[in-house]
């Protein structure tokens, strides 16, 4: 009980740091890590930036490396239900006591002339824990942008930029070129880069930064590509390798594109004499799971949860519903935050659904469902407003027949609350 009390106290302290907002820069994290012996210098790592797909690729690489016998740290954000999800060892979230130990270690060190942000503390804790566990590899996802993100203190063996869309304009810039420059900030001297970026403007920026850093960049579609097969597998035509009949454990047609970046990364790691056989890669890719992203939690009725937390993700979810749930009556449970393109996201999702339940996650940036109703009432007639997320989700599922489908989407905060509510009914479905 005392340990649980200490854990809750640490979380309260960390969440209290949110009032300091987002402050990009590396000086604070440098001081914090120096105070605990620069743990980020004690393991090899892979750094991943981009708008979408970071978590899927990070989880895939972590699973593949673990399958190959390495001890692997995984740092991602945000968490869905519990803070510990952000820091994993061999794909298992750390314990409450490890959270306490790491927080106490990094929080006692000199932090400079300002209070650290929540994410800076979180980053320092992850690196401290990875060093404590003596991991062989750490797969690190950026929090925002790249150049001034607190994770950018690392010196990776490989950098990956998944894709780029307009996001976080207050911090990263208003154009694709400006945002690309921030994401490309993770590129290091003479360190290979893998890119899934498509826009010419973004490609030009990444290529220019890579040249300035003497870093070789491998572009999806130019240096490696995939071909989808009718049986659900795909073939990877890589930089030097060709691997056929590959399959990812993640749902969604777009996950094949993410898998292409993952396999390109495996090629680069193999060049560095890492012990990655095709069998390790194949098994690891198939075993990969990424909670809250096209995650199926029930078959009758078919219930799926997906953050769809930005416009591109909403488009992909809309395509999935249209392609795979077209024979079912679909109820959409949706709640959104005010920093997203609400109208555009709704236009991606509402037309492929039959009913909508509007709700509101418990975060200060969430939009009251009555406000979303004003937009949706002209798109669909069957609308229900239930502000409490748990009640909204239970209502949608209980109102659905065995042959219907329920999709819970619109915000990762919503997904986390939905999972928490449903896990009280059946904890076994949320082992991830």
- The neighbour count for residue 228, using CB atoms within 10 Å, is 12
Q: Tell me: the pLDDT tens digits for 333-347?
A: 999 998 888 999 999
Please report, for the domain that includes residue 404, its CATH number: 3.90.190.20
Residue 302 shares a structural domain with residue 391:
yes
DSSP state, 240?
S
Please report, for the domain that includes residue 78, its CATH number: 3.40.1190.10
Residue 112 is predicted with a pLDDT of 60
Residue 307 shares a structural domain with residue 257:
no
Give the residue-averaged pLDDT of 98-111: 86
Residue 265 shares a structural domain with residue 304:
no
State how far the Cα of 312 lies from the Cα of 279, in Å rounded to an integer.
Answer: 32
Residue 431 is predicted with a pLDDT of 36
Residue 264 shares a structural domain with residue 342:
no
Question: For 18-22, 70-74, 161-165, which range has the lowest pLDDT when averaged over its residues?
Answer: 18-22
Residue 84 is predicted with a pLDDT of 97
Q: How many domains does the chain have?
A: 2
Residue 275 shares a structural domain with residue 306:
no
Residue 233 shares a structural domain with residue 310:
no
State how far the Cα of 297 lies from the Cα of 271, in Å rounded to an integer.
Answer: 39
Residue 119 is predicted with a pLDDT of 93
Judge whether residue 169 has pLDDT over 50. yes
What lies within 8 Å, CB to CB, of 296 at 6+ separation is: 251, 302, 303, 304
Residue 206 shares a structural domain with residue 326:
no
Name the band, by pLDDT with cuts 50, 70 and 90, for residue 432. very low
Encoded tokens for 73: 């740290």
Domain hosting 381: range is 295-430
Collapse the DSSP code of 398 into the 3-class scheme (helix H, G, I; strand E, B; otherwise coil) and give the result.
helix
Encoded tokens for 382: 């069957």
Average pLDDT, the chain: 92
Give the residue-averaged pLDDT of 3-21: 82
**Final residue belonging to a domain, choices 259, 287, 315:** 287
Residue 272 shares a structural domain with residue 412:
no
Residue 90 shares a structural domain with residue 230:
yes
Percent of the chain at pLDDT exceeding 90: 79
**Final residue belonging to a domain, choices 287, 314, 347:** 287
Encoded tokens for 392: 């909204």
Q: Tell me: the pLDDT tens digits for 176-218?
A: 999 999 999 999 999 999 999 999 999 999 999 999 999 999 9
Give the residue-averaged pLDDT of 2-26: 80
Residue 275 shares a structural domain with residue 304:
no
Judge whether residue 18 has pLDDT over 70. no
State how far the Cα of 247 lies from the Cα of 60, in Å rounded to an integer.
Answer: 12
Q: Tell me: the pLDDT tens digits for 263-311?
A: 999 999 998 878 899 999 999 999 999 998 899 999 999 999 998 878 8
Residue 270 shares a structural domain with residue 224:
yes
- The neighbour count for residue 184, using CB atoms within 10 Å, is 29
Judge whether residue 138 has pLDDT over 90. yes
CA distance to 92, 303, 389, per residue, from 300 (Å): 29, 8, 21
| 66: region left, alpha or beta (phi > 0 left; psi from -120 to 50 alpha) | alpha
Residue 58 shares a structural domain with residue 181:
yes
Selection from 404, 430, 388, 248 nearest residue 329 by Cα: 404
Output the furthest CA–CA distance in the chain (Å, rounded).
60
**Final residue belonging to a domain, choices 244, 271, 287:** 287
Angle between helix 342-349 and 311-324 (nearest 10): 10
């Amino acid at each position: 009980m005392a340990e649980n009390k200490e854990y809750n106290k640490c979380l309260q302290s960390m969440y209290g740091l949110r009032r300091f907002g987002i402050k990009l820069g590396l000086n604070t994290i440098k001081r914090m890590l120096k105070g605990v012996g620069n743990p980020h210098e004690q393991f090899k790592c892979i750094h991943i930036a981009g708008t979408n797909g970071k978590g899927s690729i990070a989880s895939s690489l972590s699973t593949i490396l673990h399958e190959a016998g390495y001890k692997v740290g995984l740092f991602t954000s945000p968490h869905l239900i519990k803070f510990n999800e952000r820091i994993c060892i061999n794909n298992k979230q750390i314990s409450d006591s490890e959270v306490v130990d790491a927080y106490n270690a990094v929080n006692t060190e000199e932090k400079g002339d300002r209070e650290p942000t929540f994410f800076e503390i979180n980053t320092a804790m992850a690196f401290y824990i990875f060093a404590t566990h003596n991991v062989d590899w750490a797969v690190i996802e950026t929090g925002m942008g790249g150049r001034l993100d607190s994770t950018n203190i690392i010196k990776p063996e490989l950098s990956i930029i998944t894709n780029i869309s307009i996001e976080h304009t207050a911090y990263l810039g208003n154009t694709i070129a400006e945002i690309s420059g921030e994401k490309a900030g993770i590129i290091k001297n003479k360190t290979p880069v893998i890119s899934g970026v498509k826009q010419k403007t973004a490609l030009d920026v990444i290529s220019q930064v890579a040249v300035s850093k003497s870093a070789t960049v491998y572009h999806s579609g130019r240096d490696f590509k995939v071909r989808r097969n009718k049986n659900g597998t795909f073939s990877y035509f890589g930089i030097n390798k060709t691997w056929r009949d590959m399959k990812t454990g993640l749902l969604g047609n777009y996950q094949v594109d993410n898998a292409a970046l993952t396999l390109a990364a495996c090629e680069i790691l193999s060049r560095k004499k890492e012990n990655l056989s095709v069998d390790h890669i194949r098994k690891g890719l198939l075993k990969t799971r990424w909670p809250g992203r096209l995650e199926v939690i029930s078959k009758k009725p078919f219930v799926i949860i997906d953050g769809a937390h930005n416009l591109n993700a909403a488009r992909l979810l809309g395509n999935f519903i249209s392609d795979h749930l077209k024979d079912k009556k679909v109820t959409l449970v949706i709640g959104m935050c005010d920093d997203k393109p609400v109208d555009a996201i709704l236009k991606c999702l509402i037309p492929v659904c039959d009913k909508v339940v509007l709700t509101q996650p418990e975060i200060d940036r969430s939009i009251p469902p009555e406000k979303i109703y004003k937009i949706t009432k002209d798109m669909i007639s069957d609308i229900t407003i239930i502000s409490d997320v748990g009640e909204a989700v239970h209502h949608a599922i209980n109102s659905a027949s065995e042959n219907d489908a329920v999709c819970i989407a619109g915000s990762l905060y919503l997904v986390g609350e939905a999972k928490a509510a449903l896990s009280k009914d059946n904890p076994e479905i949320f082992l991830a």
